Amino acid sequence: MEIREWLTTDETAETYLSRVSTTRLPLLLPPLHRLPLRPGNVVEIVGPSPSGKTHILLQVAINCILPKEWKGVSYGGLEQSVMFIDLDCRFDILRLLQLLKLRIYSVCQVSNDLGDAGNWTCDEELIHKCLERFLYVRCYDSLEFLATLKTLSYQLQTRKEFASKVYFMMIDSIGAYYWVDRASTSMPLGSNNRKIFSLQSVTEAVVREIKKFLRVQPMLVLATKATVFADKSVPNDIKRPFRKWSSEDAAGQHTMESSPENALHREYMPLAWQSFVTHRISVRPSSQEYRASNCTTDEQVYLGQWLLPSLGFKDKFVIRDVGIIAVP
């Protein structure tokens, strides 16, 4: 009986082909809108804290889980699912709910000319449908993260109504366990677990599991990563040449050369992750002087600059509760 169940198909060829097709995703929000990102791409969003990295993920997630249309109102969403893997352990579901309600209200306000938000009642059924598409996992260390990736296909199979519609895998933040895992390389040489718990081997296993999953179900991977130094040190780091790092120096890291781009992004993740990343964007808050001369409001202006591939300009944007807005 078990063999028969195992041989039973759970999807048609048409369903499989539609699931693995690598069509281009709809246009993303600033600052991710410049490049034609596709399922299978791995986008690293790097920047100091705070620079709006998690907020960018949440706004992209809201765009994804909102319906295209609901009860005659066009929300312009993808009506698809998001897999959000929280490695920072700082995700706030109430914040997501607040942003989702504000986005719904802003759409309803334009469509129906609503008045005061205090008199507006949110459609609880719509909220429930949206949150059903937000698949959340919290991990407390690299081994939990690895176990999650190994069982991801099974977890999605238990929710088949959403499994075939996952558009994004979001990882916040990929470098959360860097120092803990790096310290594990100091274990005694005689330990049988040295290779298993080293930074390099764990990172290689994580990349391997994500690749396996993407082969079965292609999706766009968005991963945040914090910089290793504050934004204030950037000017000094640009002037001071970095020494070259070999793979033996820092568990398989790339050679570091002196350049303005490297000052914005000083790599510390192992080579296995670096070679896995297909796109990288740096986000950071702009200076007070820049804001005063280029913005008519007191809103914080953020700068987004593509490092991989390298683009010769910076995008400016502001982060609001109702969304992310590009500014000239």
Q: What is the mean pLDDT of residues 5-11?
A: 57
Is the pLDDT at 189 greater than 60? The verdict is no
Residue 247, pLDDT score: 37
Question: Please, which pLDDT band fits residue 313 given cuts at 50, 70 and 90?
Answer: confident
Question: Please, which pLDDT band fits residue 16 given cuts at 50, 70 and 90?
Answer: low
Model pLDDT for residues 137-168, shown as the tens digit of each residue: 999 999 999 999 999 988 887 776 665 678 99
The structure tokens listed for 58 are 């949440």
- Cβ(73)–Cβ(107) under 8 Å? yes
Residue 65, pLDDT score: 95
Question: Please, which pLDDT band fits residue 222 given cuts at 50, 70 and 90?
Answer: very high
Question: Please, which pLDDT band fits residue 118 given cuts at 50, 70 and 90?
Answer: low
Q: Coil, strand or helix: which one is 231?
A: helix
Integer Cα distance of 97 and 217 in angstroms: 28
Instruction: Using alpha carbons, select from 211, 235, 231 the residue that is nearest to residue 221.
Output: 211
**Residue 224 forms beta bridges with which residues?**
45
Q: Which residue has the higher pLDDT, 161 or 183?
A: 183
Q: What is the 3-state secondary structure (H, E, C) of 247-302?
A: CCCCCCCCCCCCCHHHHHCCCCCCHHHHHHCCEEEEEEECCHHHHHHHCCCCCCEE
Domains of the chain are: 23-327 (3.40.50.300)
Question: 31-40, 53-62, 237-246: lowest mean pLDDT where?
Answer: 237-246
In eight-state DSSP terms, residue 325 is E
Residue 232, pLDDT score: 45
Is the pLDDT at 259 greater than 50? The verdict is no
Question: Please, which pLDDT band fits residue 264 given cuts at 50, 70 and 90?
Answer: low
- Cβ(100)–Cβ(82) under 8 Å? no
